[in-house]
Amino acid sequence: MNRRGEGKIELMAPAGSFESLQAAIDNGADAVYFGVEQLNMRARSSINFTLDDLPEIALRCAAHKVKTYLTLNTIIYDHDLSIIKTLINRVKEAGITAIIASDQAVINYARTAGVEVHISTQLNVTNIETVKFYALFADVMVLSRELSLRQVKKICDAIRDEDVRGPSGELIKIEIFAHGALCMAVSGKCYLSLHTQNSSANRGACVQNCRRTYKVIDLEDGHELEIDNEYIMSPKDLCTLDFLDQVMATGVQVLKIEGRARAPEYVATVIKTYNEAINAYYEGSYTPEKIKGWMEQLATVYNRGFWSGYYLGQQLGEWAEAPGSLATRKKIFIGKGIHYYPKQQAAHFKIETQSVAVGDEILITGPTTGVVETTIASMRVEDQEVDTAGKGADVTIPLATRIRPSDKIYKYVPA
């Protein structure tokens, strides 16, 4: 079922690279958001694109009717203003759909230049009066992450009841985060990284020192407080898939997946899973059995464990139990692509490390290829059928999807 079209909720995917961008397109995203060099909230942790990439991003997405959003949502200083103007001008020239902004200078210049604006979660939109104010400048607003579904629904209902419209003349659209990493700070506005490392999270340079272990010490007598979970500032990842029907019932129009710093296979798996769940909701087949399968799929890629955020009314966060991922499997790099034989539908790889065998689950990624996941049914080395191949081998495997030279191949192993 293709949800791309009017009247359907929009599924927005993160893109930190062309591999992730293609993975988002191939797995059913209706929109992608991404950063360019500086001045976005993932300037440090994500690869990010360059200004020269904008035309290709716009062209590749337009071919699939996928919307494109550039994030310009950091704090802006006077010396940034010329950069901002250049970025926005190039956004307009390239045909990027909109920018996501939080600074009034960015919002004002974008409106002057005729570029569509979406209000970032950094502005903490939490009530209908704030929505009315920003409706003077923007057509889409990302609500604060600290709201409950009840509060989200109240805002969505009020927009319709009070006929709140943006600059386009259309009713204001509400966007919320549906899945991915959460921050201990209020909608991401944190000063811990700046205080300890002189590296501002609000300028996209967070060092994520909240993800580390800490002790609590009484400075008067030196006693340490016993803490069952040392990761006391590192929340589990947000996941709404198991109550997606309640999310959809609020009336929100855009579901945002967090993860511009995550790997392409993360984007592929999460977008595919949420796409299937949304389709099932519309078809009336959103069932506990399907939810169980989807949750198992989500657990295979990077995650810190899952919780429902504040949507269901929790007063306190649920904290991660480990410094990194709790994914049930991990990938190991084994080689690179050499050539693709379209008539034979076979891909040639050079095994550069480890080994590979029939029955292995593999992952192939590349800027144009995106993400391909499959199980090796058979393979050949020097035109002979083999069961295993080691380092240095040239391997050919049946593959319906075209690969490109220098595409990377990995194999999955249990985590």
Q: Stretch 6-34: mean pLDDT, rounded?
A: 94
Does residue 160 contact residue 170 with C-beta atoms inside 8 Å?
no
- Dig out the tokens for 305 from the structure: 């464990």
Classified as helix, coil or strand, 349 is strand
Q: Stretch 341-356: mean pLDDT, rounded?
A: 95
Task: Supply the DSSP string of 58-95, one letter for each residue.
Answer: HHHHHTTT-EEEEEE-S---GGGHHHHHHHHHHHHHHT
Q: Stretch 181-208: mean pLDDT, rounded?
A: 65
- Dig out the tokens for 179 from the structure: 């899945």
Type of residue at 44: R
Classified as helix, coil or strand, 270 is helix
Interval 94-130: pLDDT, tens:
999 999 999 999 999 999 999 999 999 989 999 999 9
Alpha-carbon dihedral sign for residues 15, 3, 372, 323: positive
Mean pLDDT of the chain: 88
- pLDDT of 11 > 70? The answer is yes
Which is more confidently placed, 157 or 74? 157
Q: Stretch 42-61: mean pLDDT, rounded?
A: 81
Q: How confident is the model at residue 206 (pLDDT cuts 50, 70, 90)?
A: low
Cα distance between the two ends of the chain: 33
- pLDDT of 40 > 70? The answer is no
Q: What is the distance between the alpha carbons of residues 28 and 16, in angstroms, rounded to a whole number? A: 17
Does residue 370 contact residue 268 with C-beta atoms inside 8 Å?
yes
Q: What integer pLDDT is reported at residue 310 of this predicted model?
A: 87
HEC string for 215-230: CEECCCCCCEECCCCC
Type of residue at 202: N
Does residue 32 contact residue 62 with C-beta atoms inside 8 Å?
no
Q: How confident is the model at residue 232 (pLDDT cuts 50, 70, 90)?
A: low
Q: What integer pLDDT is reported at residue 1 of this predicted model?
A: 41
Q: Which residue from 93, 88, 19 is spatially nearest to 60, judged by alpha carbons?
A: 19
Q: How confident is the model at residue 318 (pLDDT cuts 50, 70, 90)?
A: low
Using DSSP bridges, classify how beta strands 394-398 and 379-381 pair: parallel, antiparallel or unpaired: antiparallel
Classified as helix, coil or strand, 36 is strand
Q: Which of the residue ranges 19-33, 170-184, 343-357, 385-399 would you say has the lowest mean pLDDT?
A: 170-184
Does residue 238 contact residue 250 with C-beta atoms inside 8 Å?
no
Q: What integer pLDDT is reported at residue 90 of this predicted model?
A: 96
